[in-house]
Structure 1
């Protein structure tokens, strides 16, 4: 077996490790939010069923693509991407539930989840900026923009 080639992309090993650690938390939050959103898509009921069913589907499909981008960035930095429920449970800040909330509570929980992902993405920026890691900064900026918009749209369904 051949020895792996060293990674020489202008980011130190320590900085790549710190960024990958932060992105792993972002991946765990994103995957957990994906599962929650997909679950709510399947189980939503009530007068807003069609609106929420379609909105949740749009959001979980976007998250399914996002987790791949995040994992691939972790790999490009030379680190393994977490990929198990156990790893995600240890890394995520989004609580898992086993109850059956009504539609309004689903919306509230998804707003909280979207905002958690934004905070997690924002928390990785110091390491990314220190390393001048523009690809990771771009990924984080895109994720924050999407999740802030999703939180706003969900929150708008609740009225004032």
Structure 2
């Protein structure tokens, strides 16, 4: 079953959870052949009830000791733009769509997403453009991110955050 895994990390990102479970977003996912949606909602107040989503197989949880299995089972990962979540998703070798929280004031997340996008490792959008991105995204342009070279990642982060 073609699966999308959504993670907000340890934070709350209600706008992402609300948008990915909107009728329009679910229809876009179904149109692309996704049949299962797994949501890690973190500390958010929104915990969707699977019974309210008969059009797709939906699971939702707040936290688990590890989400690695969820990532490995996913065909597409939709993630907030936290560095840890991005790195974990890229390390799992999965297609990654990062949703930047444009309500954050000092937004290093956008810089990280832009740089990883420029290097063709992920696609990114905001909640406002999520459904349209799901409809139009071309995942074939993505290149694998080769993990295991911490100095390269440190240099990359320095560059993305404007420290170098």
Q: TM-score range by the shorter chain?
A: under 0.3
TM-score, structure 1 normalization: 0.28
Higher relative contact order (CA 8 A, sep 6+): 1
Question: Which structure shows the bigger proportion of residues in helix conformation?
Answer: 1
What TM-score does the superposition give when structure 2 sets the normalisation length? 0.27
Larger CA Rg, structure 1 vs 2: 1
